[in-house]
């Protein structure tokens, strides 16, 4: 991943995580999401079944802030980003998630919040999952 032509985050095998904070999210949801992410079994075992986590395989984490995941696309032809957390709150929660990940996992790289990032991904499979932890006040 690069910003203004400079590399800001690179990992080998592991998970690239597009991370989005929505309105109502707190550290509690961020911590629950991180726990789920670190334990999520998406890497193949010796039999080829998805039975290993990123922790089990000592894979890297590339955490990329991505507010556009909160886009409301239900009507019209232009997305609304109303569901996304305000930029200051999104940055605060992203930074919290990064700090917690760094304290619990060996290899953590990040994108740059608010920057125009050029992200390159080699998606094995391809395999892509959407993990979500709804806020407590979610209805």
51 token code pair: 């039975």
**Tens-level pLDDT at each residue, the chain (139 residues):** 999 999 999 999 999 999 999 999 999 999 999 999 999 999 999 999 999 999 999 999 999 999 999 999 999 999 999 999 999 999 999 999 999 999 999 899 999 999 999 999 999 888 999 999 877 765 4
Among the listed residues 67, 97, 100, 110, the single catalytic one is 67
Q: What is the pLDDT of residue 134?
A: 79
The full length of the chain comes to: 139
Among the listed residues 10, 28, 68, 82, the single catalytic one is 68
Q: What is the pLDDT of residue 137?
A: 61
Is this structure's pTM higher than 0.75? yes
Among the listed residues 43, 66, 94, 110, the single catalytic one is 66
Catalytic-residue membership of 68: yes
């Amino acid at each position: 991943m690069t910003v203004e032509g400079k590399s800001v985050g690179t990992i080998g095998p592991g998970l690239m995580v597009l991370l989005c904070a929505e309105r109502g999210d707190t550290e509690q949801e961020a911590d629950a999401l991180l726990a789920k992410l670190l334990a999520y079994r998406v890497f193949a075992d010796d039999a080829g079944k998805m039975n290993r986590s990123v922790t089990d395989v000592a894979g890297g984490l590339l955490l990329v802030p991505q507010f556009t995941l909160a886009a409301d696309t239900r009507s019209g032809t232009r997305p609304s980003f109303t569901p996304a957390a305000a930029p200051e709150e999104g940055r605060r929660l992203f930074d919290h998630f990064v700090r917690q990940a760094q304290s619990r996992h060996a290899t953590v790289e990040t994108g740059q919040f608010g920057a125009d990032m050029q992200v390159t991904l080699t998606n094995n499979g391809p395999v892509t999952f959407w993990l979500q932890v709804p806020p407590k006040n979610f209805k």
